[in-house]
Amino acid sequence: MTILLSTLNARYTHASLGLRDLLANLGELQEQASILEFVIGAKTTEVVERLLARNPQIVGFGVYIWNVEETSRVVSMLKRVAPHVTVVLGGPEVSHETAEQEIVKLADYVVTGWGDITFAKLCGQILNGPQPLMKIHAGEQPPMDAIRLPYHLYSTEDIAHRTMYVEASRGCPFKCEFCLSSLDKTAWPFPLDDFLTQMESLYQRGARLFKFVDRTFNLNVKTSLRIMQFFLDKLQAAPNDPVYAHFELVPDHLPDALKESIAQFPPGALQFEIGIQSFNPEVQALVSRRQNNDKAADNIRWLHAHSHAHLHVDLIAGLPGEDVDSFARGFDHLVSLGPHEIQFGILKRLRGTPIIRHTGPYGMVYDAFPPYTVLATSKIDFQTMQRLVRFSRYWDLVANSGRFANTVRALLGDSPFANFMAFSDWMYSHTDATHRIALDRLAKLVRQWLEERGMAAAEAEALVASDYAGQAGAHTAAPKAQAAAPERQVRHLAA
């Protein structure tokens, strides 16, 4: 292959939509191109060896916040052992603040922003001349109907074993300063008929798990209804052949027509990801987030009470101007609304996002290395931020895992944040770890905590056992785990 497209995905089940977009739009060069994907954690020498086994002239890498350090090592080694190979970088991590990045210095060319058309043009110049004079090439945004959809490039193996990432639109009209989508002017839809034709093709080839990466799926309700009707038709025609669809919803925009459609879906067919991020109006205003909190809360309540959708709702700790008490109130409020999962994220400073303007005024201190997590603010010191980080990890292990559904209610009581923070501090003091805690040990620790908080030993044992005995059968079939990582603030970048 003359052109090799590659990236390091967060896990095997994440098939890169971005690489397939590039391949689909290479025009005459497509016959000379292929995709070779890896997973983070792969040995650098093995990655380079497998890349060079294809004998490429050009290698294009998709660079993201979760793979930039490992990709830097791959690019460095590749240029050492095969300096004749031209390396082109693209992706959100190298689309902003390029001058200061080591990986950019190592590469030959960088495409910033939209790469669908620009990457193809750049490859043509590299192969056929005249040679490009500039290292950095700003991506050209073409009309949406000029972009060839890539879904035919999902292989039979992809369909059988991986999540089908799809997008009915790109961009976002909102300006939340912690998100790269705040740089978009609006949301741009793909031609809907063409998109649904592609979804039909995927379905006929056996795809049953569709994850939409649209930032604002329910922004245009007419479009949302047509897409949801597509899945409803499949479910009604073959009720014993379930389809699973994951959408992101604007929390305060759920008109009656959309509710009527949602209510028709059976259990296990829908997951909604809902970004609340903060319930504090002053913090929302500070980071340019427009949100009607009352409507958002009412919509989550309605979804919990009147639909079978799995609700995954996001909060971000460490936003400028928000202290722990404010975050705790928001957390407790969200728990009371009844979502199935709460993604407790810690703020990341994504390259290019306007959140940087608050660094001085609000004492924002970020890790210098990916994923650039906030370490302290004027409202939350470093030690407290680390407690929040541990809270987040234990919350995933105990609450979001679904393994302790009955027990979690006892853990949270009337003050969910305070009670789980006490449990989190206790867990860390007894384990000195937040990872690699075996399930058996975790169950014993949860039971011990309940006993120390005054629950009778027999009652605590029975409560934990009621979850522990049934967790394997109850949760292994749920596809939501594939859709949950990496956390929301950054995972859109995979598209």
DSSP 44-106: HHHHHHHHHHT--SEEEEE--TTTHHHHHHHHHHHHHH-TTSEEEEESGGGSSSGGG-HHHHH
The model's pLDDT over 158-202, given as tens digits with 9 standing for 90+, comes to: 999 999 999 999 999 999 999 998 888 899 999 999 999 999 999
Three-state DSSP state, 166: strand
Query: What pLDDT score was predicted for residue 91?
Result: 97
Query: What pLDDT score was predicted for residue 182?
Result: 87
Cross-strand partners of 188: 170
As a whole number, mean pLDDT of residues 41-67 equals 98
CA distance 459 to 207: 45
Three-state DSSP state, 3: strand
Query: What pLDDT score was predicted for residue 468?
Result: 72
Query: What pLDDT score was predicted for residue 406?
Result: 93
- With 60 as the cut, is the pLDDT of residue 492 above it? no
- With 90 as the cut, is the pLDDT of residue 368 above it? yes
**Which is it for the CA torsion 390, 391, 392, 397, positive or negative?**
positive
As a whole number, mean pLDDT of residues 27-52 equals 97
CA-angle at 159, arms to 221 and 91, nearest 5°: 70
- With 90 as the cut, is the pLDDT of residue 422 above it? yes
The model's pLDDT over 398-408, given as tens digits with 9 standing for 90+, comes to: 999 999 999 99
Give 275's contacts (C-beta < 8 A, 6+ positions apart): 248, 251, 313, 314, 488
Query: What pLDDT score was predicted for residue 373?
Result: 98
- With 70 as the cut, is the pLDDT of residue 334 above it? yes
Question: Is 255:231 a contact under the CB 8 Å cutoff?
Answer: no
Identify whether 142 is preceded by a cis peptide bond (ω within 30 of 0). no
Q: Tokens 């292990």: give the residue.
A: 397
How many of the other CB atoms lie within 10 Å of CB of 240?
5
How many of the other CB atoms lie within 10 Å of CB of 364?
21
As a whole number, mean pLDDT of residues 28-36 equals 97
Residue 493 pLDDT level (bands cut at 50, 70, 90): low
DSSP 406-463: HHHHHHHTT-HHHHHHHHHHHHHHHHS-SS---HHHHHHHHHHHHHHTT--HHHHHHH
CA-angle at 391, arms to 390 and 397, nearest 5°: 90
**Two domains, one topology: 3-142 and 163-380:** no
Three-state DSSP state, 343: strand
Q: Could you state, in order of their start, the residue ranges of all structural domains in the chain?
A: 3-142, 163-380, 403-472
Task: Look over the chain and give the mean of its residue pLDDT values, rounded to a whole number.
Answer: 94
- With 90 as the cut, is the pLDDT of residue 478 above it? no
Residue 1 pLDDT level (bands cut at 50, 70, 90): confident
Query: What pLDDT score was predicted for residue 185?
Result: 85
- With 50 as the cut, is the pLDDT of residue 412 above it? yes
- With 60 as the cut, is the pLDDT of residue 69 above it? yes
Pairing between β-strand 374-376 and β-strand 365-366 as defined by DSSP bridges: antiparallel
CA distance 270 to 248: 11
CA dihedral 293, 298, 300, 301 (to 10 degrees): 140
Query: What pLDDT score was predicted for residue 485?
Result: 45
Query: What pLDDT score was predicted for residue 15?
Result: 95
- With 70 as the cut, is the pLDDT of residue 248 above it? yes
Query: What pLDDT score was predicted for residue 479?
Result: 46
Strand order across the 164-166 sheet: 164-166, 209-212, 244-249, 270-277, 310-317, 341-346
Burial class (CB in 10 A: 0-12, 13-18, 19+), 430: exposed
- Quote the tokens at residue 405: 């559904």
| Best CATH choice for the domain 3-142 from the list 3.40.50.2300, 3.60.21.10, 3.20.20.70, 3.10.129.10 | 3.40.50.2300
Query: What pLDDT score was predicted for residue 477?
Result: 37
How many of the other CB atoms lie within 10 Å of CB of 225?
17
The model's pLDDT over 458-468, given as tens digits with 9 standing for 90+, comes to: 999 999 999 87
CA-angle at 165, arms to 183 and 124, nearest 5°: 70
Q: Classify domain 163-380 by CATH architecture.
A: Alpha-Beta Barrel (3.20)
As a whole number, mean pLDDT of residues 256-276 equals 97
